[in-house]
Structure 1
Amino acid sequence: MAVIYISVGSNIERHKHIVAGLDAMAAVFNNLRLSPVYESKAVGFEGSDFYNLVVEAHTALPIADVVAELKRIEDNNGRVRGGKKFAPRTLDLDLLLYDDVVCEEPIELPRDEILHNAFVLLPLCDIAPALTHPLTGQCIADMWHAYDKQKQQLWAIPFAWQQAEVG
């Protein structure tokens, strides 16, 4: 089984879409473990604040099938495709890591956002601080420690899923 990390975000009916996305991922992947949920300002465009978290899961599916499942879940939650890259989202699911695979196809892994976005790096650090980034060789905790925290502000929020607190 591969260990995967998925970035989850929403800024349209945030709670509803995050819960629906988690429910759908739980039906496809094994042993979901969730970071705390963070709220942050939209990055790259003017829009409502986002909820973001990172999910660790296990899967026997190959990378292409994981990506197809994530797209299916997004689509089932009203994700509009073909629009601007930086725009409001009902649900945004991005595969960040698949074990220690480095590849360009079927998607870029590890996902570049890990290095640049607090809303990805902090929740990833929360659930996998000792994990080593396959390209930089740094552990995620060291990467978060070195990150310029003035670039993006985020704050943890209370969030429950399946009658359990997240995080």
Structure 2
Amino acid sequence: MIRVYLGLGANLDAPLQQLQQAVKALSQLPQSQLAAVSHFYGSKPMGPQDQPDYVNAVAALDTTLAAETLLDALQHIELEQGRQRKDDRWGPRTLDLDILLYGEEVLATARLTVPHYGLHQREFVVYPLLELAPLLQIPGLGALAEIALQVPRNGLTMLTSDLASGLAAPQR
């Protein structure tokens, strides 16, 4: 099994419910076990500011799926939840699932870059990831705890725990 960290985000069509539904879908992936889910966080959008705020989280998944097979499965979940891929890179979306880390591997294919290229700059990734894995070392970037010291919160807000009740799997 490989420990994979996934970024989850949504800002359209009931974002909180979109993330809850995504967590349920992740828990049902073949050859995989959902290990933990961070709290949900409210964050300002990247890019155009004339869109709703996001709800974000990070999930830890143990899997034997190959990285691109996992990517296919995540894109299928996105489509099932109404995701429409558009040219607008940072526009609004019903669901966005990103592979942040795939074990300790560094991958650069036409479809996938791991560690995720913006991981170390995005508060809505860094702080939920820090919640799940405070001692994590990120390949090529160093200690997550050190990275967090350089990333401002930019209004990132932990949503009350009752919003995500029943979602967080036991943390290891």
TM-score, scaled to structure 1? 0.91
Where does structure 2 lack aligned partners over 5 or more consecutive residues?
A: none
Deviation string 1:67-88 (CA, Å, 9 cap, x unpaired) is 0000000000000013311111
Taking a change above 3 Å as real, the CA distance of residues 142 and 166 of structure 1, as seen in their structure-2 partners, is: same
Asked if the contact 2:8–2:19 (Cα under 8 Å) also holds between the matched residues in 1, the reply is yes
Q: How many residues align?
A: 164
2:59 partner SS:
strand
1:132-151 equivalences under 5 Å are 132-136=137-141, 138-147=142-151, 149=152
Where does structure 1 lack aligned partners over 5 or more consecutive residues?
A: none
What percentage of residue pairs aligned between the two structures are identical? 27
Matched residue type, 1:41: K
Correspondence for 1:115:
120
Correspondence for 1:93:
97
Correspondence for 2:159:
157
Correspondence for 2:60:
56
1:121 partner SS:
helix
- Aligned equivalents of 2:116 and 2:143: distance in 1? 15
- Aligned equivalents of 1:140 and 1:49: distance in 2? 25
TM-score, scaled to structure 2? 0.89
- Aligned equivalents of 1:66 and 1:163: distance in 2? 21
Report the CA distance between 1:113 and its aligned residue: 1.6
Correspondence for 1:23:
24
Report the aligned-residue RMSD.
1.9
- Aligned equivalents of 2:106 and 2:146: distance in 1? 20
Asked if the contact 1:17–1:91 (Cα under 8 Å) also holds between the matched residues in 2, the reply is yes
- Aligned equivalents of 1:90 and 1:3: distance in 2? 26
